Structure formats: C-alpha cells, structure tokens
Amino acid sequence: MKNIFGNSITVTLFGESHGPQIGAVIDGLAPGLEVDLDFIRKQLELRKPHGKISTGRVETDEPHIVSGVFEGKTTGAPLCILFENSNIKSKDYSKTKNLIRPGHADYTAMEKYHGFADYRGGGHFSGRITTPLVAVGAILIKALQKKGIYIGSHIQKCGAIEDRQFIDYESDIKKVNELIFPVLDEEIAEKMHHYMLGVAGEGDSVGGVLETVVIGMPTGVGEPWFDTVESILAHALFSVPAVKGVEFGDGFGFADMKGSEANDAFEIKDGTIVTKTNHNGGINGGITNGMPLRFRTVVKPTPSIYKKQETVNVETMENAVLQIEGRHDPAIVHRARVVVDSMTAIVLADLLAVRFGTDWL
C-alpha cells in the first residue's frame, strides 16, 4: 500500500476510519512557514457534516501537531499532525462485513490485501482520511496566499441545477471560501439544498461538479509530457474518494469547438503578456501561462445509500441483498470542496518548490 504523494514536498497519509487515530506527515516544508491553528480549524469546519444533507457522524477534529512546528512556525523537520477518532459505531459494519457494498472499495480491498484490510467504515479507503489532507492543505493554502496565490471552488452543478460561473475571480474566491455550502448564487444554493434534502428523504444520494479557480500562479511552472500541471493535478484529484472525472479549461467542450474558437489570443496588458480568453484554463504545453487555472471535478453520488442493493456474500459465495445501516452522507460534494482546494494547494506548493526551490514559499 503506497500512501506518499509529492516530489519536493511530500505527504504521507495513515489511519483508518474506525481506528484510534488518523493523520499525515508532511516532509520537505521550508522552515519558517506560519502554522495557524485557527485557520486549520476553519478549513476543517468546511469539511465537517452540516445538517440533514450530511452524515450524523460528527468528530471534534481537533488537530494535534506532534512534530515539525516550534513557536507557531515550521522547523523544516517532518511535520506530523494527528486526529482522534472518537464518534465511531463499528457494530453498524460488523453485521454486514461479508456483504460487498456496491460502489465501495470492499471487493478490491479484499482482493489486494487478502482479507486483512479493516472493513469498518471503509478503513483506510474512507473519506474520513481526507481530514488530515485538509489540515495539510490549510498550512499550504496560507503559504500560497502570502505569495499572492488564491484557490476557490464552488458547486457548479448538482443534478440539473447549475450555479453561475466565477465572474470577479478575486471577490468570488473570497466569498465562496466563507460559505459552508459553496454556491455563489443564493437562490441556486437554496434550490440545490432542497434537491439534496429530497433525495435524502428517498434514502438515495447525489453527486455534483466542483469548479475550481486559482489566481496568482506565476508563469513557467510545470513540465512537458509526464509532469504537466494537468497530469499532476489530475493524479492528486483522482486520489480524493468519489472523484471520477477531471477536466481543464473548457475540457470536453473542446469537442464542439473549432481551433479558431478554442485558441486563446495573446495581447499586452499593463506591460504583461496575457490571453484575451482562457479556454485552456491557464495552461499551455503542461506549463502555467499566468492566467487563472480553471478546472472541474466530478464527484459521484455517495455509494452508501439506504435502498436495498444486490450484492454477494463473500463468506458463502452466494448472491445476496444488502440494506446498509449507520450514518451516511446523502451528498458529499459540498464537503469535498475543501478537500479539492487542499489537494490543489498541495500540488501547487510542490510544483512551485520544484521550480523555484523549497525556500520560495
């Protein structure tokens, strides 16, 4: 099992959903970076469940930093951060431990780890493990902001309901980062929330599309071919549980365009080379061109639903019917927003450290 990501700045994840603790180790951080516990808590709050469109499992998620920080600043040594798991109900999973849950990693985990993986709450495959990722991301988001780089995501679509696009990037990013339910248009937010509640009442779940924008990235970051900005971001984003699609710029919309429509014309503006449009999402040849990065991430419907589902019993090797119990999210796209922002920050910080050196941040 490989749990390490990054080149210059690396992140290692550990723990299980119902184990005693979960956490992460960040290595390669420059010394002297601010570690703002209040900001980490604020970001973790965006990930926490809220209301009837989220799971009933609510953890305190108080971060415990056990190494790599002294007097509020990074030391340059590996930073280890821990979280306690206290609000667990493992018996909800023991009743159905031999029934493979559709849409989950139960079967693939069983095959890869020969039946030794912790099945409770999905074990190491659980979305619970995104908690330390958000904490790591919070440290790097702060570091990026001090270099004038800002990240923001909103729910662009859920079902047939669509939010407006980012208009004024700076103010919209600031606005959406303060919202628990990250939808820019207030009327659309109410409609989406109502739709999610309706689906939850049916014992079902919904997915959605997140749109992310990054402003302030310098030009010349990324590599051609195998370490393009797109390929590394996609690698990281597909690591987030339930993410099943990523597109950059106009993405699949390019299929309906001509070259004259898809190309971004260049111009000089205030002494700087910019593009008049941004169909390519701030990236050419795998390298940042100074325009805002823009990409979309598809989050599938939560696989844990209360409807009866066909499956198999791995102990008896017979067909079976599963009806899950426990506490589950009818929608996770609103909680996944801060996870996507955090993964984006981790990737960009690593790319910048590779390009300009670790101390650049």
Full set of structural domains in the chain with CATH:
4-360 (3.60.150.10)
Tally of CB atoms within 10 A around 4: 10
The structure tokens 């723990």 sit at 15
At 259, the pLDDT band (50, 70, 90 cuts) reads very high
Q: Are strands 309-313 and 318-322 parallel, antiparallel or unpaired?
A: antiparallel
Residue 97 has a pLDDT of 82
Do 96 and 322 meet the contact criterion of CB atoms below 8 Å apart?
yes
- The chain-wide mean pLDDT, for the chain, equals 93
Q: Above pLDDT 90, what percent of the chain?
A: 81
pLDDT in tens, 68-99: 999 999 999 999 999 999 866 656 666 778 89
Facing residues of 153 across strands? 212
Backbone angles phi, psi at 248, to 5 degrees: -110, 145
- How many Cα atoms within 13 Å fall on the side-chain side of residue 292? 23
Q: What is the pLDDT of residue 262?
A: 97
How large is the C-alpha radius of gyration of the chain?
A: 21
User: pLDDT per residue over 205-228, tens digit each?
Assistant: 999 999 999 999 999 999 999 999
Mean pLDDT for the stretch of residues 14-26: 93
* Range 62-69, long-range pairs (CB < 8 A, 24+ positions): 63/37, 63/135, 65/35, 65/37, 68/26, 68/29, 69/35
3-state secondary structure of 183: coil
State mean pLDDT over 293-316: 94
Q: What is the CA 323 to chain-centroid distance, rounded?
A: 28
CB-side exposure of 126: number of CA atoms within 13 Å?
24
Are 127 and 343 in contact by the 8 Å Cβ rule? The answer is: no
b/e per residue 58-68 (b: at least 16 CB within 10 A):
ebebebebeeb
Integer Cα distance of 172 and 157 in angstroms: 17
Tell me if the pTM is above 0.85. yes
pLDDT for the residue numbered 225 = 94
CA–CA distance, 345 with 298 (Å, rounded to integer): 18
